[in-house]
Amino acid sequence: MFGFLNIYKPVNMTSHDVIGYLRRVTKIRQIGHAGTLDPFAEGVLPVAVGKATKLIEYLNDDKAYIGRFCFGKSTDTYDIEGKVVCEFDNKITEKQIIDLPLPQGEIEQYPPIYSAKKINGKKMYELARAGVNDIEIKPCRVNIYKTELLEFNEEEQWADIFVECSKGTYIRSIANDIGKALNNGCYLSKLKRVKSGGFEVKNSVILDDLKNIQDVEKILINPIDYITQPKQELNDVEYKRISHGMTIYNRIDATNDAIVMLTKENQLVAIAQTSSDGLKPKKVFIN
Protein backbone atom coordinates (compact mmCIF):
# COMPACT_ATOMS: atom_id res chain seq x y z
CA MET A 1 0.00 0.00 0.00
CA PHE A 2 1.38 3.35 -1.06
CA GLY A 3 -0.23 6.78 -0.88
CA PHE A 4 -1.70 9.59 1.23
CA LEU A 5 -4.77 9.84 3.45
CA ASN A 6 -6.71 12.98 4.36
CA ILE A 7 -7.72 12.20 7.95
CA TYR A 8 -9.85 14.34 10.28
CA LYS A 9 -8.17 14.37 13.68
CA PRO A 10 -10.77 14.71 16.44
CA VAL A 11 -10.44 16.68 19.67
CA ASN A 12 -8.77 14.90 22.62
CA MET A 13 -6.76 12.62 20.36
CA THR A 14 -3.10 13.18 19.56
CA SER A 15 -1.64 12.95 16.07
CA HIS A 16 0.31 9.89 17.27
CA ASP A 17 -2.96 8.29 18.43
CA VAL A 18 -4.28 8.63 14.87
CA ILE A 19 -1.18 6.89 13.49
CA GLY A 20 -1.51 4.15 16.10
CA TYR A 21 -5.13 3.56 15.13
CA LEU A 22 -4.27 3.31 11.42
CA ARG A 23 -1.41 0.90 12.15
CA ARG A 24 -3.75 -1.37 14.07
CA VAL A 25 -6.39 -1.28 11.32
CA THR A 26 -4.00 -1.85 8.40
CA LYS A 27 -1.26 -3.90 10.15
CA ILE A 28 1.20 -1.58 8.38
CA ARG A 29 3.99 -0.08 10.49
CA GLN A 30 5.28 2.41 7.91
CA ILE A 31 2.75 5.20 8.48
CA GLY A 32 3.52 8.83 9.31
CA HIS A 33 1.82 12.23 9.44
CA ALA A 34 2.62 15.73 8.25
CA GLY A 35 2.01 18.56 10.72
CA THR A 36 1.24 17.76 14.36
CA LEU A 37 -2.01 19.03 15.91
CA ASP A 38 -2.35 19.64 19.66
CA PRO A 39 -4.82 17.35 21.50
CA PHE A 40 -7.39 20.16 21.93
CA ALA A 41 -7.23 20.94 18.19
CA GLU A 42 -9.05 19.17 15.39
CA GLY A 43 -9.11 19.05 11.61
CA VAL A 44 -6.99 18.05 8.65
CA LEU A 45 -4.11 15.65 9.30
CA PRO A 46 -2.26 14.48 6.16
CA VAL A 47 -1.09 10.88 6.58
CA ALA A 48 1.40 8.94 4.45
CA VAL A 49 1.17 5.15 4.12
CA GLY A 50 4.00 2.82 3.11
CA LYS A 51 6.78 4.29 1.01
CA ALA A 52 4.78 7.51 0.74
CA THR A 53 6.33 8.43 4.11
CA LYS A 54 9.43 9.30 2.07
CA LEU A 55 7.40 11.98 0.28
CA ILE A 56 6.22 14.00 3.28
CA GLU A 57 9.07 16.48 2.87
CA TYR A 58 7.81 17.37 -0.63
CA LEU A 59 4.28 18.28 0.45
CA ASN A 60 3.14 21.91 0.50
CA ASP A 61 3.53 23.13 4.10
CA ASP A 62 1.11 26.08 4.09
CA LYS A 63 -1.78 25.81 6.54
CA ALA A 64 -5.16 27.41 7.22
CA TYR A 65 -7.00 27.46 10.57
CA ILE A 66 -10.10 28.76 12.28
CA GLY A 67 -9.32 29.60 15.88
CA ARG A 68 -11.55 30.72 18.75
CA PHE A 69 -9.80 33.56 20.55
CA CYS A 70 -11.12 34.12 24.09
CA PHE A 71 -10.56 37.46 25.81
CA GLY A 72 -10.21 38.42 29.47
CA LYS A 73 -7.59 35.88 30.52
CA SER A 74 -4.04 34.83 29.64
CA THR A 75 -2.66 31.33 30.20
CA ASP A 76 0.90 30.06 30.43
CA THR A 77 0.39 27.84 27.35
CA TYR A 78 -1.57 30.52 25.41
CA ASP A 79 -4.45 28.02 25.09
CA ILE A 80 -7.32 26.50 27.06
CA GLU A 81 -5.15 23.73 28.50
CA GLY A 82 -2.87 26.10 30.39
CA LYS A 83 -2.93 27.70 33.83
CA VAL A 84 -4.49 31.17 34.04
CA VAL A 85 -1.75 33.71 34.78
CA CYS A 86 -3.69 37.00 34.32
CA GLU A 87 -7.32 38.12 34.36
CA PHE A 88 -8.79 41.37 33.05
CA ASP A 89 -12.05 43.16 33.82
CA ASN A 90 -12.26 45.37 30.73
CA LYS A 91 -14.46 44.10 27.89
CA ILE A 92 -13.41 43.98 24.25
CA THR A 93 -15.67 45.35 21.52
CA GLU A 94 -15.94 44.19 17.92
CA LYS A 95 -14.78 47.62 16.76
CA GLN A 96 -11.54 47.21 18.72
CA ILE A 97 -10.79 43.98 16.89
CA ILE A 98 -11.74 45.43 13.51
CA ASP A 99 -9.54 48.46 14.14
CA LEU A 100 -6.67 46.27 15.31
CA PRO A 101 -4.19 45.45 12.55
CA LEU A 102 -4.26 41.65 12.69
CA PRO A 103 -0.87 40.06 11.88
CA GLN A 104 -0.16 39.92 8.17
CA GLY A 105 2.90 39.28 6.01
CA GLU A 106 6.29 38.11 7.23
CA ILE A 107 6.55 38.50 10.99
CA GLU A 108 8.82 37.44 13.84
CA GLN A 109 6.90 35.25 16.24
CA TYR A 110 7.87 33.95 19.67
CA PRO A 111 6.75 30.33 20.12
CA PRO A 112 4.92 29.40 23.35
CA ILE A 113 7.18 28.11 26.09
CA TYR A 114 4.94 25.03 26.20
CA SER A 115 5.64 23.94 22.64
CA ALA A 116 7.47 21.10 20.88
CA LYS A 117 10.11 23.47 19.50
CA LYS A 118 13.56 22.21 20.50
CA ILE A 119 16.38 24.01 22.29
CA ASN A 120 19.66 22.10 22.36
CA GLY A 121 17.83 18.90 21.49
CA LYS A 122 15.19 19.27 24.21
CA LYS A 123 11.56 20.18 23.60
CA MET A 124 10.62 23.48 25.23
CA TYR A 125 7.64 22.02 27.07
CA GLU A 126 9.90 19.36 28.61
CA LEU A 127 12.23 22.08 29.92
CA ALA A 128 9.30 24.15 31.21
CA ARG A 129 7.74 21.20 33.03
CA ALA A 130 11.14 20.36 34.54
CA GLY A 131 11.18 23.83 36.12
CA VAL A 132 13.92 25.33 33.95
CA ASN A 133 13.40 29.09 34.31
CA ASP A 134 16.11 30.53 32.08
CA ILE A 135 14.85 29.21 28.72
CA GLU A 136 15.96 31.55 25.97
CA ILE A 137 13.08 31.81 23.52
CA LYS A 138 14.19 33.04 20.13
CA PRO A 139 11.73 34.44 17.56
CA CYS A 140 10.99 32.57 14.35
CA ARG A 141 10.15 34.11 10.98
CA VAL A 142 6.76 33.02 9.68
CA ASN A 143 4.40 34.23 6.97
CA ILE A 144 0.80 35.19 7.64
CA TYR A 145 -0.95 35.25 4.26
CA LYS A 146 -4.43 36.16 5.47
CA THR A 147 -6.32 36.90 8.69
CA GLU A 148 -10.05 37.50 8.81
CA LEU A 149 -12.52 38.07 11.65
CA LEU A 150 -15.39 35.62 11.05
CA GLU A 151 -17.55 36.14 14.13
CA PHE A 152 -17.48 38.04 17.42
CA ASN A 153 -19.53 37.31 20.54
CA GLU A 154 -19.41 40.41 22.73
CA GLU A 155 -21.34 38.85 25.61
CA GLU A 156 -19.11 35.78 25.89
CA GLN A 157 -15.99 37.67 24.77
CA TRP A 158 -14.70 35.45 21.99
CA ALA A 159 -13.84 35.86 18.33
CA ASP A 160 -13.53 33.27 15.58
CA ILE A 161 -10.62 34.24 13.32
CA PHE A 162 -9.44 32.63 10.09
CA VAL A 163 -5.65 32.44 9.66
CA GLU A 164 -3.80 31.29 6.55
CA CYS A 165 -0.09 30.91 7.23
CA SER A 166 3.22 29.17 6.61
CA LYS A 167 4.52 26.09 8.36
CA GLY A 168 5.69 26.68 11.92
CA THR A 169 3.16 29.40 12.77
CA TYR A 170 1.72 29.14 16.29
CA ILE A 171 -1.90 30.29 16.30
CA ARG A 172 -1.87 30.45 20.10
CA SER A 173 1.04 32.89 19.94
CA ILE A 174 -1.12 35.06 17.67
CA ALA A 175 -3.87 34.90 20.31
CA ASN A 176 -1.47 35.98 23.06
CA ASP A 177 -0.10 38.82 20.91
CA ILE A 178 -3.63 40.07 20.11
CA GLY A 179 -4.41 40.15 23.83
CA LYS A 180 -1.32 42.25 24.50
CA ALA A 181 -2.19 44.62 21.64
CA LEU A 182 -5.64 45.16 23.19
CA ASN A 183 -4.22 45.62 26.73
CA ASN A 184 -6.16 42.52 27.66
CA GLY A 185 -5.72 38.78 27.86
CA CYS A 186 -6.37 36.35 25.05
CA TYR A 187 -5.98 32.60 24.70
CA LEU A 188 -6.99 29.95 22.18
CA SER A 189 -9.95 27.79 23.28
CA LYS A 190 -10.62 25.96 20.00
CA LEU A 191 -8.60 25.33 16.86
CA LYS A 192 -9.62 23.68 13.61
CA ARG A 193 -7.14 23.15 10.79
CA VAL A 194 -9.16 23.50 7.61
CA LYS A 195 -6.32 23.14 5.13
CA SER A 196 -2.82 21.69 4.97
CA GLY A 197 -1.23 22.15 1.57
CA GLY A 198 -3.60 20.47 -0.88
CA PHE A 199 -5.51 18.61 1.86
CA GLU A 200 -8.82 20.30 2.74
CA VAL A 201 -11.20 19.62 5.61
CA LYS A 202 -14.19 19.19 3.28
CA ASN A 203 -12.52 16.06 1.85
CA SER A 204 -11.21 14.60 5.11
CA VAL A 205 -12.28 11.22 6.49
CA ILE A 206 -13.14 10.42 10.10
CA LEU A 207 -11.39 7.47 11.72
CA ASP A 208 -14.64 5.74 12.69
CA ASP A 209 -15.30 5.12 8.99
CA LEU A 210 -12.07 3.12 8.68
CA LYS A 211 -12.68 -0.33 10.13
CA ASN A 212 -10.21 -2.41 8.10
CA ILE A 213 -7.46 -2.25 5.51
CA GLN A 214 -10.01 -2.37 2.67
CA ASP A 215 -11.64 0.84 3.94
CA VAL A 216 -8.23 2.53 3.93
CA GLU A 217 -7.38 1.30 0.44
CA LYS A 218 -10.60 2.84 -0.93
CA ILE A 219 -9.61 6.35 0.15
CA LEU A 220 -5.88 6.14 -0.60
CA ILE A 221 -4.71 9.19 -2.57
CA ASN A 222 -2.24 8.94 -5.44
CA PRO A 223 0.85 10.95 -4.33
CA ILE A 224 1.24 12.65 -7.71
CA ASP A 225 -2.07 14.45 -7.09
CA TYR A 226 -0.66 16.27 -4.06
CA ILE A 227 3.00 16.83 -4.86
CA THR A 228 3.39 19.95 -6.97
CA GLN A 229 6.93 19.51 -8.30
CA PRO A 230 7.29 19.17 -12.12
CA LYS A 231 6.72 15.73 -13.63
CA GLN A 232 8.44 13.73 -16.36
CA GLU A 233 6.70 10.66 -17.82
CA LEU A 234 9.15 7.81 -18.38
CA ASN A 235 9.44 5.68 -21.48
CA ASP A 236 10.34 2.00 -21.17
CA VAL A 237 14.09 2.57 -21.52
CA GLU A 238 14.10 5.35 -18.91
CA TYR A 239 12.01 3.24 -16.55
CA LYS A 240 14.58 0.44 -16.71
CA ARG A 241 17.47 2.84 -16.11
CA ILE A 242 15.72 4.41 -13.11
CA SER A 243 15.00 0.96 -11.66
CA HIS A 244 18.80 0.47 -11.58
CA GLY A 245 19.44 3.89 -10.05
CA MET A 246 20.86 5.34 -13.26
CA THR A 247 20.66 8.95 -14.49
CA ILE A 248 18.34 9.75 -17.39
CA TYR A 249 18.00 12.64 -19.85
CA ASN A 250 16.19 15.71 -18.53
CA ARG A 251 13.32 16.57 -20.89
CA ILE A 252 11.72 19.32 -18.82
CA ASP A 253 12.66 22.93 -18.22
CA ALA A 254 14.10 22.92 -14.70
CA THR A 255 17.16 24.48 -13.09
CA ASN A 256 19.94 22.46 -11.51
CA ASP A 257 19.11 20.88 -8.13
CA ALA A 258 15.36 21.06 -8.82
CA ILE A 259 13.16 18.18 -7.67
CA VAL A 260 11.28 16.28 -10.39
CA MET A 261 8.69 13.52 -10.10
CA LEU A 262 9.26 10.63 -12.47
CA THR A 263 6.02 8.88 -13.42
CA LYS A 264 4.89 5.89 -15.47
CA GLU A 265 1.22 5.45 -16.40
CA ASN A 266 0.07 7.91 -13.71
CA GLN A 267 2.09 6.21 -10.98
CA LEU A 268 5.03 7.71 -9.13
CA VAL A 269 8.21 5.79 -9.94
CA ALA A 270 10.90 7.99 -8.38
CA ILE A 271 11.89 11.39 -7.08
CA ALA A 272 14.86 12.78 -9.02
CA GLN A 273 17.11 15.82 -8.84
CA THR A 274 18.29 17.76 -11.85
CA SER A 275 21.97 18.20 -12.58
CA SER A 276 24.22 18.99 -15.54
CA ASP A 277 24.20 15.24 -16.31
CA GLY A 278 20.40 14.91 -16.37
CA LEU A 279 17.91 13.54 -13.83
CA LYS A 280 19.48 11.55 -11.03
CA PRO A 281 17.10 9.42 -8.91
CA LYS A 282 17.04 10.29 -5.17
CA LYS A 283 14.22 8.00 -4.05
CA VAL A 284 12.90 5.07 -6.08
CA PHE A 285 9.50 3.48 -5.42
CA ILE A 286 9.59 0.52 -7.78
CA ASN A 287 8.80 -2.70 -5.89
The catalytic residue positions are 38
Q: Please check whether residue 243 is in contact with residue 237, taking contact to mean a CB–CB distance below 8 angstroms.
A: no
d(CA 23, CA 54): 17
Residue type at position 228: T
DSSP for 228-267, written as a single string: -S-EEE--HHHHHHHHTT--B---S---TT-EEEEEETTE
Give how far Cα 225 sits from Cα of 98, 126, 265, Å. Answer: 38, 38, 13
Strand-pairing partners, residue 65, are 163, 193
Residue 16 has a CB neighbour count (10 Å cut-off) of 10
Give how far Cα 202 sits from Cα of 15, 43, 206, Å. Answer: 19, 10, 11
H or E, element range at 216? helix 213-218
